[in-house]
């Protein structure tokens, strides 16, 4: 029997019972629980096998809930929230005392966003508590962008995946914190740096941390297939190195004609970075299920969303 269901009332009841539900967002599916339930939050960390030093993102349904979560909203944070919420922006702000340390890895800041997905917004609006929801995958594995990805990972560990179709943006939210009131990108994501800078001017990027990260998604190895993965700017050369192996290729816009390749996925023949981002993780899931010896991925143009995707792929191939 499938754990995938479109029943919002069923999801609500499970969450109110301090259990977990995987929820859809416009970025990736999240593994969600009541932020005020220690049982639920511990279950998120245990189910994902996620280290406790890696903080979680709080999901709310409306900006009116933000004062319940954070102490103050810097002017530039308010500008970004106005522009990008609901959407793929996570803000890291000083937390209120009521936010459990378990959520924030003991820090005095909390990551928060409003997802842009009608199903999850409808669920959140019916709950009396916000949801913590890191990506619904085991720690370090490829993030899920379809309900079936989550069911494959956790079919025996959670009661329900709330069906929401394929995630439109396909990579995680952009995470922004503030140091001396200036915006700092802690994780590149589904909103390009260039779009952020149109709103608040120049930003600093600090998106790697080996331990004690300021925000989720900052660890070096992440988003990784089980299959050995290589990221390259010279696709043909890399393929020729592994001629005797069973090879899968993930390319940006051009099909590779090499007879040495066993399977190939092209992300966007029209060279559309947004389309490529929407397909990226699903393509990686497909390749990872094929029992290949190696996955070779073509580096994307290092502009706009290409920077965010290259960031994910570098971590996947670390």
Return the pLDDT at 249: 96
Rounded Cα gap, residues 12 and 19, in angstroms? 10
- Tell me, what's the pLDDT at 206? 86
What per-residue confidence (pLDDT) applies to 315? 87
pLDDT tens digit sequence for 162-180: 999 999 999 999 999 999 9
Confidence of residue 243 (pLDDT cuts 50, 70, 90): confident
Domain 229-316: CATH architecture, name and number where available: 3-Layer(aba) Sandwich (3.40)
**pLDDT tens, position by position, 31-90:** 999 999 999 999 999 999 999 999 999 999 999 999 999 999 999 999 999 999 999 999
Model confidence pLDDT, tens digit, residues 2-16? 899 999 999 999 999
Under 8 Å between Cβ of 297 and 312: no
Domains 4-205 and 229-316 share a fold: no
For residues 276 and 268, is the Cβ–Cβ distance under 8 A? yes
What per-residue confidence (pLDDT) applies to 221? 64
CATH superfamily for domain 4-205: DHBP synthase (3.90.870.10)
What would the mean pLDDT of 244-260 be, rounded to a whole number?
A: 89
pTM: 0.94
pLDDT at 223: 75
CA–CA distance, 302 with 179 (Å, rounded to integer):
26
* Helix ranges (DSSP H) in the chain: 8-16, 38-48, 66-69, 75-84, 101-104, 118-126, 147-154, 193-200, 235-241, 273-288, 305-316
User: Which residue's entry shows tokens 């559309």?
Assistant: 272
Q: What backbone phi and psi angles, to 5 degrees, belong to 162?
A: -80, 115
Q: Could you state, in order of their start, the residue ranges of all structural domains in the chain?
A: 4-205, 229-316
Q: With bands split at pLDDT 50, 70 and 90, how would you rate the model's confidence at 215?
A: low
* CB burial string 147-177: b at 16+ within 10 A, e below: bbbbbebbeeebbbbbbbeebbbbbbbbbbb
d(CA 277, CA 26): 12
Higher pLDDT, 317 or 301: 301
* Two tokens, residue 102: 């378990």
pLDDT of residue 224: 83
Match 């066993």 to its residue by tokens: 262
Q: What is the model's pLDDT at position 220?
A: 60
Q: What pLDDT, on a 0 to 100 scale, did the predictor assign at position 35? A: 98
Per the structure block, which two tokens stand in for 221? 């190895």
Beta bridge partners of 94: 109
**Mean pLDDT across the stretch 136-153?**
96
Q: What is the pLDDT of residue 208?
A: 63
Do residues 45 and 157 lie in contact, with contact meaning Cβ atoms separated by under 8 Å? no
Residue 102: predicted pLDDT: 97
The pLDDT assigned to 213 comes to 66
Task: Determine what percent of the chain is predicted with pLDDT higher than 70.
Answer: 95
Provide the percentage of residues in the chain whose pLDDT is more than 90: 88
> Where residue 159 falls among pLDDT bands split at 50, 70, 90?
very high
Q: Are 102 and 42 in contact (CB under 8 A)?
A: yes
Q: How many CB atoms lie within 10 A of CB 246?
A: 15
Selection from 137, 138, 158 nearest residue 146 by Cα: 137
Q: DSSP for 61-83, please give it.
A: S-GGGHHHHBS---HHHHHHHHH
| Residue 92 pLDDT | 97
């Amino acid at each position: 029997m499938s754990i995938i269901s479109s029943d919002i009332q069923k999801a609500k009841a499970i969450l109110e019972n301090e259990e977990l539900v995987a929820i859809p967002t416009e970025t990736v599916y999240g593994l969600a629980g009541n932020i005020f339930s220690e049982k639920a939050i511990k279950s998120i960390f245990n189910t994902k096998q996620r280290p406790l030093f890696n903080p979680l993102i709080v999901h709310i349904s409306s900006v009116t809930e933000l004062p319940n979560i954070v102490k103050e909203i810097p002017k530039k944070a308010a500008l970004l929230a106005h522009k990008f919420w609901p959407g793929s922006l996570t803000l890291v702000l000083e937390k209120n005392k009521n936010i459990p340390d378990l959520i924030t890895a003991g820090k005095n800041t909390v990551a928060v966003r409003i997802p842009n997905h009608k199903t999850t917004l409808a669920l959140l609006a019916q709950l009396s508590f916000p949801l913590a929801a890191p990506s619904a995958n085991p720690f370090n594995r490829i993030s899920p962008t379809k309900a079936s990805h989550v069911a494959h990972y956790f079919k025996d560990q959670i009661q329900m995946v709330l069906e929401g179709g394929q995630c439109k943006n396909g990579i995680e939210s952009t995470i922004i914190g503030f140091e001396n009131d200036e915006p700092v990108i802690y994780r590149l994501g589904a909103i390009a740096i260039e779009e952020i800078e149109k709103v608040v001017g120049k930003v600093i990027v600090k998106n790697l941390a080996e331990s004690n990260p300021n925000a989720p998604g900052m660890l070096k190895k992440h988003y990784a297939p089980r299959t050995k993965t290589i990221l390259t700017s010279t696709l043909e050369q890399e393929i020729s190195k592994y001629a005797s192996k069973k090879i899968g290729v993930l390319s940006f816009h051009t099909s590779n004609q090499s007879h040495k390749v066993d399977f190939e996925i092209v992300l966007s023949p029209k060279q559309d970075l947004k389309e490529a981002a929407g397909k990226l993780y699903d393509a990686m899931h497909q390749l990872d299920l094929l029992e290949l010896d190696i996955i070779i991925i073509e580096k994307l143009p290092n502009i706009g969303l290409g920077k965010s995707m290259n960031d994910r792929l570098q971590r996947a191939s670390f």
